[in-house]
Amino acid sequence: MIRGSRTSLEAIGEGFVRAALECVADAETSAEPRLPLGWNLIRTEYETGDWDGRLESHRRCIDLHVVLEGRERMAVAETDGLSPLGPYSVEEDVQFFAAERAEFIEMGKGDFLVLDAGEAHMPRLAAGAPGRILKLVLKIPVNDPKLAAGAVV
């Protein structure tokens, strides 16, 4: 997991994070953002709420969550020791787990969080009172050769 703000990106120095945030910046100003082959960008807007003890995990992609407006908390935990709530869905690349505890990360405008494949998480949680959030989620395939090379797209 890598977390920070878009203004603190220089301190991270991760080539793929830099490239991913460039894609996000392009998505903020363009209806058709330039994305590397296989990457998927999701623009989402929702009301935050309470945590029900569920977490999700992906096997084929890394998630980059970037908050554009609002505040939210995200629950994060390692999948070791979690109880699966069902089988892994190959089609959806997701498996849900029950968790008694998790680390909670609060995110606001301009903050980002990179979750590696296999890191269980649950976004959409209220940071205090429920509120509206606008966010971009970039799905980056774990088998992308640019990740292994640390290359910037």
Q: 2: pLDDT confidence band, cut at 50, 70 and 90? A: low
Beta bridge partners of 112: 4, 66
Rg, the chain, Cα only: 15
> How many Å apart are CA 75 and CA 56, to the nearest integer?
10
- Whole-number pLDDT of residue 55: 98
Please tell me the predicted confidence (pLDDT) of residue 98. 97
Please give the CATH number for the structural domain made up of 2-149: 2.60.120.370
Give 89-123 as a DSSP string.
BTTTTBEEEE-S--EEEEE-TTEEEEE-TTEEEEE
Alpha carbon distance 60, 71 (integer Å)? 27
Domain ranges in the chain? 2-149
Q: What is the pLDDT of residue 24?
A: 77
What's the average model confidence in pLDDT over 48-69? 94
Which residue has better confidence, 13 or 79?
79
Mean pLDDT of all residues belonging to the chain: 84
Which residues, in sequence order, are CB contacts of 135 under 8 Å at separation 6+? 43, 44, 45, 65, 66, 67, 68, 70, 72, 123
Q: pLDDT band at 10, cuts 50/70/90?
A: very low
- Written as six digits, the tokens of 80 are 């070791």
Contacts of 22 (CB under 8 A, 6+ apart): 152, 153
Write the CA distances from 119 to 1, 79, 135, 143, integer angstroms: 8, 6, 19, 16
